[in-house]
């Protein structure tokens, strides 16, 4: 944890994540430029500058597609969660790749224009009334501007300054940006393709984003129905006491859409919100040591008995009341205010008497 903003809180996982990401970008560009240039053919021969531009453009599209696939994949299978933790690094790198693509295009197609090259980019083609020859550049410009905004506001400072709800709404712009990229590619390079390799890559990537989000939404709806079915007198079943592992949590979706993490430590149950106050990291995936759970994303800690960070830190998360119904641990879906102390629930009658 930190009481001040620092550029990046580096750790071994971040270094490994970024190293693999950079290696993937380099490998993609090398294959596109040198290994299979004939497969990515075009109706007319193109020069090296244009080929470089399309290599970086294709790489940016693939990276953006992967970014949008990580979220639903993590909801469908928790083994993908490590990819989600540092996804912002992925997004910032995508912006640099996209800017390189745009730079190649502007410096080649518009560098010798009689007017300013950026003015020429905007006004050289204004045939908005036709599909063939439509000025697809506007879609690329919109997407690039959105990606730059998202990268520039990705730091924690902006989340605190704008508030998490506003920050989240701004970052939902990634979806119209992706749709704009799809339009940019569809009306641009696909009309100049001679072979189907890039077309298949493009269609497959865009379809994967749509299908994965649909599957994740269906799974979430199924979970919501299951939670509603097990709710009893306003309380929600979590799991039988023997299903818990000491030091770890069970995560449950509540009828209001929130997630709660229920921990067992030394024979006592406690429950706090699953969302870290820092960046909504999954607290339920952290291990409890001496009543403190550590968020796996950035190391923020909370006392599971009161939802408070240890001094001198001031972050707090909501707590929840628990009860036993036979062998079943149940949680009250109505959260307590952040930082509210709640006496731990004994796992057995013997612990309740001691």
3-state secondary structure of 294: strand
pLDDT at 209: 93
Question: Do the beta carbons of residue 136 and residue 183 sit within 8 Å?
Answer: yes
DSSP letter (8 states) at residue 27: H
pLDDT at 135: 82
Helix segments in 131-275, DSSP class H: 137-152, 156-162, 164-171, 174-187, 197-230
| Euclidean distance between CA atoms 214 and 222, whole angstroms | 12
pLDDT at 190: 63
In terms of Cα–Cα distance, which of 5, 177, 185, 220 is closest to 91? 177
Collect all residues with Cβ–Cβ distance below 8 Å to 86 and sequence separation of at least 6. 13, 14, 17, 18
Helices then strands, counting H and E runs in the chain, come out as 11, 11
What token pair was written down for 353? 């008497």
pLDDT at 17: 85
Question: Do the beta carbons of residue 306 and residue 339 sit within 8 Å?
Answer: yes
Local confidence pLDDT in tens for the 354 residues of the chain:
344 445 555 667 778 888 999 999 999 999 888 876 655 555 455 678 888 888 899 899 999 999 999 989 988 887 887 787 778 889 999 999 999 999 998 888 777 777 787 777 777 777 777 766 778 888 999 999 999 999 998 877 787 788 777 888 898 999 999 999 998 888 877 666 555 666 777 888 889 999 999 998 888 777 666 555 554 457 889 999 889 988 888 988 888 878 899 999 989 999 999 988 887 888 888 888 888 998 887 778 999 999 999 988 888 999 999 999 889 999 999 999 999 999 999 987 544 444
3-state secondary structure of 254: coil
CATH 1.20.120 fits 12-223, yes or no: yes
pLDDT at 150: 93
pLDDT at 1: 39
Collect all residues with Cβ–Cβ distance below 8 Å to 198 and sequence separation of at least 6. 40, 58, 189, 190
In this structure, the chain runs to a length of 354
In terms of Cα–Cα distance, which of 111, 91, 93, 94 is closest to 103? 111
Distances (CA, A) of 304 to 99, 249, 254, 323, 343: 44, 11, 18, 16, 10
Identical fold for domains 12-223 and 235-353, yes or no, is: no
Rounded to the nearest angstrom, the gap between the alpha carbon of residue 26 and the centroid of all alpha carbons in its chain is 23
Domain 235-353 in this protein, CATH class: mainly beta
| Euclidean distance between CA atoms 171 and 68, whole angstroms | 12
Which residue ranges make up each domain of the chain?
Answer: 12-223, 235-353
pLDDT at 331: 93
| Euclidean distance between CA atoms 233 and 134, whole angstroms | 60
User: What's the whole-model pTM score?
Assistant: 0.68
3-state secondary structure of 192: helix
pLDDT at 225: 64
């Amino acid at each position: 944890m930190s009481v001040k903003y620092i550029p990046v809180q580096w750790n071994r996982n971040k270094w490994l994540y970024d190293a693999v990401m950079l290696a993937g970008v380099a490998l993609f560009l090398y294959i596109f430029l040198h290994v299979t240039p004939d497969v990515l053919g075009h109706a007319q021969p193109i020069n090296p500058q244009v080929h470089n531009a399309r290599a970086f453009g294709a790489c940016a599209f693939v990276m953006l597609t992967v970014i949008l696939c990580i979220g639903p994949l993590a909801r469908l299978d928790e083994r993908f969660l490590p990819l989600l933790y540092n996804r912002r690094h992925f997004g910032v790198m995508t912006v640099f790749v996209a800017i390189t693509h745009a730079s190649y295009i502007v410096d080649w197609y518009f560098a010798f224009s009689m007017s300013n090259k950026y003015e020429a980019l905007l006004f050289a083609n204004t045939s908005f009334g036709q599909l063939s020859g439509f000025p697809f550049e506007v879609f690329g410009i919109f997407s690039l501007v959105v990606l730059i905004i998202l990268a520039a506001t990705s730091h924690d400072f902006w989340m605190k300054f704008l508030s998490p709800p506003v920050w989240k709404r701004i970052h939902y712009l990634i979806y119209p940006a992706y749709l704009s990229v799809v339009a940019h590619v569809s009306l641009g390079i696909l009309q100049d393709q001679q072979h189907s390799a890039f077309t298949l890559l493009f269609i497959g990537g865009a379809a994967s984003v749509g299908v994965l989000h649909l599957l994740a939404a269906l799974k979430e709806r199924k979970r919501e129905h299951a939670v509603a079915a097990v709710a009893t007198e306003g309380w929600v079943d979590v799991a039988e006491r023997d299903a818990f592992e000491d030091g770890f949590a069970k995560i449950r979706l509540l009828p209001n859409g929130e997630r709660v993490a229920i921990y067992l430590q030394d024979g006592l149950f406690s429950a706090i919100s699953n969302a870290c106050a820092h960046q909504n990291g999954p607290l339920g995936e952290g291990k409890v040591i001496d009543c403190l759970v550590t968020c796996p994303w950035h190391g923020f800690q909370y006392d599971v008995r009161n939802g408070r960070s240890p001094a001198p830190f001031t972050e707090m998360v909501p707590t929840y009341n628990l009860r036993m119904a036979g062998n079943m641990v149940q949680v009250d879906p109505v959260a307590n205010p952040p930082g509210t102390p709640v006496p731990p629930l004994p796992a057995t009658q013997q612990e309740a008497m001691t």
